[in-house]
Structure 1
């Protein structure tokens, strides 16, 4: 019996009620959620997504918004360049695609900030298309249930896509549901450190459990630090700009971080990335 036969009914019964999964959510709403969810917990994304969709329910609405408003709305989701890429993608959708998010994976990948994963997720979850959607959670489920390994190890893009494609049901709608069910299983049951195997709908056909749940001994990705990194400093500087009703002088930014060399380097990187701008009078602000 295929994994989908057990996994789809399980998902239908117990899936988390997330706003971007609800009936009536547009492909644009799905696309916004996928940009926001990259390396960011669902709990932080949900309220921001709700406000975002209320303010900018269509790509053209976001495209017309000043970049400063977009960055303020993004708030503390992290990786704020995603907000600017989404703003750019919205402009392309409005101008070239008639304000409708494309359904074709290749057309989606041609949008600013949209990579293979996001394109496939929007096609599957926004349009119900049959295409493999592979994230960390899906890779872990496949590694355990299919290959009998404790974890997936480093990404193997072509092999990972082939693995998931082989598991997809034939029908488009069923395949799309299976794809999101795989992600849900990896997120809430087949977790990295403490999998809840007793609650797993595919435990009776899991190769990893059948092998005695052996510990994973392959290569691991080093955990990403945050405290004291340039990413933290950039965030502190952006907080100053976001929280100010207008431009700020250099002294306000200097107070955000004590290490002058690191602070200057990070400020320069924000200017280069288009996340901040320096005005003619020397003050700093979010981009217009």
Structure 2
């Protein structure tokens, strides 16, 4: 069975895969899905698109409203980037999401993965799309490694390009299929090799599942007690308030004054928090 055949039979019913789901919705979904599980994204995506069905609708709202609506999806800078991208789409492209990868890359906050994903999935263009799941499938099935080496845009795109069917519709399905295969079957911790359409040709399986001994990506620091946790507490307080939050209220959120000040300063630097004339804080 090919990856495409497997995908047609086993794909999850996800909103962004349904007929008629537009390019703007796909762009929003791709940004939301970065480092966030599908199950958390779906309800927030539906609410977002109901409120802002077009780039122009989002661009017309203050960026702080985008941050507030982002709620607990994590990494709220993504909300600001989506707002900036919506503004650029509205002002530069007449409110229409461009299909060209180069033009997509010119949008604020849109990187290599998102640009190619939108071009491939929204417009059906033949571009390799590589996420963490794809990198793992390629590492195992093609390279015979238990894990993928640290990400390299040039190397990873070239590896996927070599596998991509030349036919555009088939390439679109293959991109989605490889991502789905990594998400459901060729998982990081408990791969279900007996259910994999690539089992017969998998280099890692043929080699006896050797342990990976190559370079590894940096491990993310523990969340509990980190600046990320403090930033999240501040953002939650601001999202919950319709008026500026005083410094005294902010100071009650965390006992370590030095760490709190550092987290607050980083939020201001990122444009996620704005101080008013009374030394109170609000969303941008």
Q: Deviations over 1:232-274 (max 9, x none)?
A: 1111001110111211111111111110001011111111211
1:1-288 aligned at under 5 Å gives the runs 6-224=2-220, 225-287=222-284
Please state how far the C-alpha of 1:141 moved relative to its aligned partner: 0.5
Q: 1:171-222 CA distances to partner (integer Å, 9 max, x unpaired)?
A: 1111011001101101111011110111111111111111111121222223
Larger mean CA deviation between 208-217 and 176-185 belongs to 208-217
Bigger Cα displacement from structure 2, 28-37 vs 224-233: 224-233
2:200 alignment partner, SS class:
helix
CA distance in 2, matches of 1:20, 1:234: 30
Q: Deviation per CA, 1:59-92, whole angstroms, max 9, x where unpaired?
A: 0001011122111110011111110011000001
Task: Report deviation, 1:223.
Answer: 2.5
Structure 1 unaligned regions, length at least 5: none
The separation in 2 between residues aligned to 1:89 and 1:158, in whole angstroms, is: 24
What's the TM-score once normalised by structure 1's chain length? 0.96
CA distance in 1: counterparts of 2:19 and 2:125, whole angstroms: 16
Instruction: For 1:157 and 1:58, locate their aligned partners in 2 and report how far apart those are by CA, in whole Å.
Output: 30
Give the whole-Å Cα distance in 2 for the aligned partners of 1:139 and 1:270.
Answer: 32
Q: Could you give the per-residue CA deviations for residues 47-69 of structure 1, whole angstroms, max 9, x where no partner exists?
A: 10010011111100010111221
Task: Give the CA RMSD over aligned residues.
Answer: 1.0
Shift of 1:21: 1.3
Structure 1 residue 144, shift from structure 2 partner:
0.9
Q: Matched residues in 2 for 1:209 and 1:106: separation?
A: 38
Looking at structure 1, the residues matched to 32 and 85 of structure 2 have their Cα atoms a distance apart, in angstroms, of 14
Q: How many equivalent pairs are there?
A: 283
What SS is found at the alignment partner of 1:284?
A: strand
What CA distance in whole angstroms lies between the structure 1 residues aligned with 2:148 and 2:272? 35
Q: Segments of 4+ in structure 1 off by > 4 A? A: none
